[in-house]
A and B are shown apart, each in its own frame.
Chain A
Amino acid sequence: MAKNQEGMTLIVKTITRLTVGLILLFGIYIVTHGHISPGGGFAGGAIIALSFIHIMLAFGKEVTFKKMNQSVMSFFESVGAIMFITFAILGIGSGYFFLNFMLKGKPFKLFSSGLIPLYNLAICLKVGAGLFIIFVILVLLKTPKKGGEK
């Protein structure tokens, strides 16, 4: 890692490489089990955004933008919003707006409670991408313009 001087020291980079996958996995767990245990789309999306922020703080923005571009994040956020609205409108076909029309399944199973996991997924995409976009724009895009070069 001698060639990549951006970001923090070697210790932080090593620890980040070890932990960031676990953080991302925990966020995915929180999202997918949002209808069974405490958590849900908002918390899980924020944890996923935090894992990418973790990479960005440790490795600098060049490494992160290779993994997650800004247009990709805009795409994910829009997809989340469109998914949410689409599931809500699909309910009109069998009743009213936001009708939970799918089969309920057995409680305490992962595939249960109809549309609620899908709503959680949509909220997670939206919140994760949105918070990461806000972080990138608010923190990183403004710093070089204001202070010149480092």
Chain B
Amino acid sequence: MLELQLLLIFMIIGAIIAVKEKDLLSSVIAVGTVGLGLSLVFLILKAPDLAIVQLVVEILVIIILIRATIRRDLPFSTSGRWFFNTLVTFVFIGVFLVFIYLYIKDLPQFGQPIMKIAQRFIAEGLRETGATNLVSSVILDYRAYDTLGEATILFTAVMGVLAVMRKVGRKK
């Protein structure tokens, strides 16, 4: 569990650097370290499916961010209403911490699979679906509605990007 905490500290440091860095390219690279650390965390927690997806999507997002933001250096507006913004941020962090404390008190211990539905998947998944990768059998057979929703979200995202950024039908 020590390596997990070291990775979490590394990710937190990377996130703070990403927020505080003035240069946009360095900030994007710091965000990339956070994502790669998250992929390693998934690998340590024995979730290789999530690790693969996280790694690949992180690379894609980094490429898009670098290509999309490298020419337009947006300056951060640190002056102005910084007091109000900081106050609102701290209030929201406080509210979030209170609720997360109330919620985490009732959760089971970390890494103890005591959920009955997951036990059913583990015990009967191979016989009922025939897929040896249990994650695949869950997301495409037991919980296929979730995958349908995710596919719908991606389709809507593509349509939205096309509608906003299209060239056809727009006057120059």
Interface residues of A (CB under 8 A from B): 30, 34-43, 46-47, 49-50, 53, 57, 77, 80-81, 84-85, 88, 98, 100, 104-105, 107-108, 112-116, 119-120, 123, 126-127, 130-131, 133-135, 137-139, 141-143, 146-147
Query: How long is the Cα–Cα vector from A28 to B150 in the complex, in angstroms?
Result: 21
Tell me if A126 and B137 are in contact (CB < 8 A).
no
Complex partner residue of B151 from A35, A123, A131, CB under 8 angstroms: A123
The residue from B133, B155, B162 contacting A38, defined by CB atoms under 8 A apart: B133
- Cα–Cα, bound, A104→B130 (Å): 5
Residues in B whose Cβ lies below 8 Å from that of A146: 71-72
Main secondary structure of the interface of A (DSSP, over half): helix
Measured CB to CB, the residues of B under 8 A from A are 48-49, 51-53, 56-57, 59-60, 63-64, 67-68, 71-72, 126, 129-133, 135-137, 139-141, 144-145, 147-148, 150-151, 154-155, 157-158, 161-162, 165-167
B129 touches A42 (CB 8 A): no
B48 to chain A, nearest CB (A): 4
Chain B at the A interface: SS class: helix
**A112 & B131 in contact (Cβ 8 Å cutoff):** yes
- CB-based contact A139/B64 at 8 Å: yes
Q: Are B71 and A143 closer than 8 Å at their CB atoms?
A: yes
Q: Name 19 A/B residue pairs within 8 A (Cβ), A-sorted.
A: A35-B131, A35-B133, A42-B150, A50-B56, A77-B158, A81-B155, A84-B147, A98-B141, A98-B144, A107-B130, A113-B130, A114-B130, A123-B147, A126-B154, A130-B158, A133-B158, A138-B165, A139-B67, A142-B68
